[in-house]
Amino acid sequence: MNYRPPRWLPGGQLQTIWPALYSRRVFGSKPGYLRQRWDTPDGDFIDVDFLRYEPAAPASAAPRPLLVVFHGLEGSSRSHYSEAFADLAREQGWACALPHFRGCSGEINRAPRAYHSGDHAEIGWILARLRSAHPGVPLMAVGVSLGGNALLRWAGEVGAHAAQSVDAVAAVCAPLDLAAGGHAIGRGFNRQVYNRMFMRTLVPKALQKLGQHPGLFDRRALLSARDLYAFDNVFTAPLHGFRNTEDYWSRASAKPLLDAIRVPALVVNPRNDPFVPAASLPRQHEVGSHVTLWQPAHGGHVGFASGRLPGHVRAMPDAVAGWLAGRAGLQTGVRAESAHG
């Protein structure tokens, strides 16, 4: 990806914050979704939003290729990158599914657990169900940030069996080394801005979970947590089978399994991402032959704004979808204005 930021948007912090808040996400109307609630094998549920086409396709229409988008930490189908990918899918005539991790669809889930960065079993279950519902069509999956790490973790865990569910996968701004990313977000400007932003939603949702399941964790310890490290130590790690934060960050990271991936996989990491230190990024000799690394100098964390003020965020989705489509045997067109900064 040869991304060049516009002159009015210098630096990784601005390239992260501005696109999420102000840049255009779509080139047409805001995408509409149809929501399905799926019961999980353990008695819980997730909500999956499907791109709605107006007018609806006739029953005799050929099945559409499917793009699956996994969101990041505390994201949803309405995150800026989710709407940009859905807008792209609509332009290309693809179906698009946007699964929500547990508790991220606007309603707290039922089970005494939530979601985490290495939730590869959940990824595998979702993709297998989508493949079953969309047989015989290209199926491409992209994960953003946390969703990207979980997606690559799944692809590495199952190896050649991943091809039964997907034709190609991509991860954008995934914290492949969770310890490096976790420590980065806990320092300086990141701690004051992004850490606080995540804690404002994570802590209330954890308290809702405690209300559902009294005694699940130490309420006082949760309320004293001031960063993701402490939050993961009290909540995320023990609820999902990890000893503590260090164990969670180590065992859930996708980086050690990148050489085990056996389907086409694109890994996009800007080198100025405030959440993902450049020194922690994988090098070519650390990944398998099925993995392509894109590590542009700029882009921030899921930013990639292009064009004139206020910019748009379609440069990255267009580039990623073009790569995925090529591996899935599809033709796709990229907007001219999306190709340049």
- The strands making up 168-172's β-sheet, listed across from edge to edge, are 32-39, 45-52, 95-99, 66-70, 139-144, 168-172, 265-268, 291-294
pLDDT of residue 336: 44
Lowest-pLDDT choice from 56-65, 200-209, 294-303: 56-65
pLDDT band per the 50, 70, 90 thresholds, residue 54: confident
Averaged pLDDT, 10-35: 96
Give me the long-range contacts of 232-238 (CB less than 8 A, separation at least 24): 232/182, 235/114, 235/202, 235/206, 235/209, 236/114, 236/116
* pLDDT tens column, 116-171: 999 999 999 999 999 999 999 999 999 999 999 999 999 999 999 999 999 999 99
Active-site residue among 145, 165, 280, 306? 145
Which amino acid, one-letter code, is at 190? N
Decide if 301 is catalytic.
yes
Left (φ > 0), alpha (ψ -120 to 50) or beta: where does 118 sit?
alpha
pTM: 0.95
* Residue 102 CB-half CA count within 13 A: 23
**Which residues are registered as beta bridge partners of 170?**
142, 266
Q: What pLDDT, in 10s, does the model give residues 176-199?
A: 999 999 999 999 999 999 999 999
Q: How does residue 341 score in pLDDT terms, banded at 50, 70 and 90?
A: very low
Q: Is the pLDDT of residue 338 over 60?
A: no
Q: What is the mean pLDDT of residues 298-310?
A: 97
For 12-21, 49-58, 235-244, which range has the lowest pLDDT when averaged over its residues? 49-58
Q: pLDDT at residue 339 above 50?
A: no
Sign, CA dihedral 227-204-48-241, equals positive
Mean pLDDT of 65-73: 98
Of 51-55, 105-109, 331-335, highest mean pLDDT? 105-109
What pLDDT sits at residue 261?
Answer: 98
Q: Which domains are seen in the chain, by residue range?
A: 12-177+253-338 (3.40.50.1820), 179-252 (no CATH)
Given 49, 87, 273, 318, which residue is catalytic? 273
Catalytic residue among 80, 100, 120, 301: 301
- Which tens digits make up the pLDDT trace of 218-228? 999 999 999 99
pLDDT of residue 62: 81
Q: So what's the pLDDT on residue 254? A: 98
Query: pLDDT digits over 234-284, tens only?
Result: 999 999 999 999 999 999 999 999 999 999 999 999 999 999 999 999 999
Whether 145 is catalytic is yes
* Distance, CA of 186 to CA of 72 (rounded, Å): 17
